Amino acid sequence: MDIHKLEIFIDLSETLNYTETAERQFTTQGNISKQIIALEKEVGAPLFERAHRQITLNPLGKLLLPHAQEIVMQYQQMQQHLSEQLSQDSLVLMMLTIPTMANYHGFELITKFLKYHPEIDLQLKEGEGNALLPFLKGGQNHVIFARTFSRTMAECEMLLTEEDQFVAVLPKHHPLANEKKIALGDLSMEQFVALEEDTLIYQPMVDLCHEAGFDPQISFRSARI
């Protein structure tokens, strides 16, 4: 038996007015009449007394009404439970990552993970520095891909994918360009190009310069270099 027909039957039992039920069901009066007639054919007998443009439930309609209400209620509960279960089964993983993630081995690991777990919907978004930790704390299914220094991620569970290094990128004809290794203090008089202050890499670089005995002369800062 069609649930929609039962819903219309219940509504018409309340209003006892085809026009009002049509408005409540966002359809036409003719469609309401058609659905009720079809339901009565399924039942095998009329459900309403019709006289002088007025309708009332007949004894069979009164008998059917509580059963119809129970069926519709159970159907709605089933729909709700299914929706809740499907929502739980929808595995969404939110990941905030530094803009340069593609340069790291971690990107390959994530790609491989998704290959073996196609049921997971990965939602990827770029972020930097100070935005990462608040995002991580914002939900149980949140992950970040970030640069980490011992003090910045102490409260987080981490999986180390690789180790990075600080390097000095110098002009081709710079006196130190051909050196395999230089002391940071050798750059004390140089102009630095650095990432923005809100990245997790800026302050450690400054701290290393301070440990080498100088304040870096930063001539340009950018979110990406």
- C-alpha distances (whole Å) from 22 to each of 61, 65, 154, 190 are 19, 19, 63, 80
Topology of the domain covering 91-145: D-Maltodextrin-Binding Protein; domain 2 (3.40.190)
Q: In what order do the strands lie in the sheet with 142-145?
A: 120-126, 91-97, 142-145
Select the CATH number that applies to the domain covering 3-88 from these four: 1.10.10.10, 2.40.128.110, 2.40.40.20, 2.60.40.10. Answer: 1.10.10.10
What does the pLDDT read at residue 119? 78
Name the residue ranges covered by the structural domains of the chain: 3-88, 91-145, 165-225
Could you say which DSSP state residue 140 is in?
T
3-state secondary structure of 22: helix
State CA 188 to chain mean position distance: 46
Per-residue model confidence (pLDDT) at position 65 = 96
The CATH architecture annotation of domain 165-225 reads 3-Layer(aba) Sandwich (3.40)
Instruction: Check if 3-88 and 91-145 are the same fold.
Output: no
- Residue 168 to residue 38: CA distance in whole angstroms: 82
What's the pLDDT score for residue 87? 65
Local confidence pLDDT in tens for the 225 residues of the chain: 789 999 999 999 999 999 999 998 889 999 999 999 999 999 999 999 998 888 999 999 999 999 999 999 999 999 888 877 776 666 778 888 877 777 888 888 888 888 888 878 888 888 766 677 777 776 666 788 877 765 556 677 778 888 888 888 999 899 999 888 899 999 999 999 988 877 778 888 899 999 999 999 999 887 777
| Contact indicator for 175, 158 with CB cutoff of 8 Å | no
> What pLDDT is stored for residue 20 in this prediction?
93
What pLDDT is recorded for position 146?
78
CA distance 108 to 67: 58
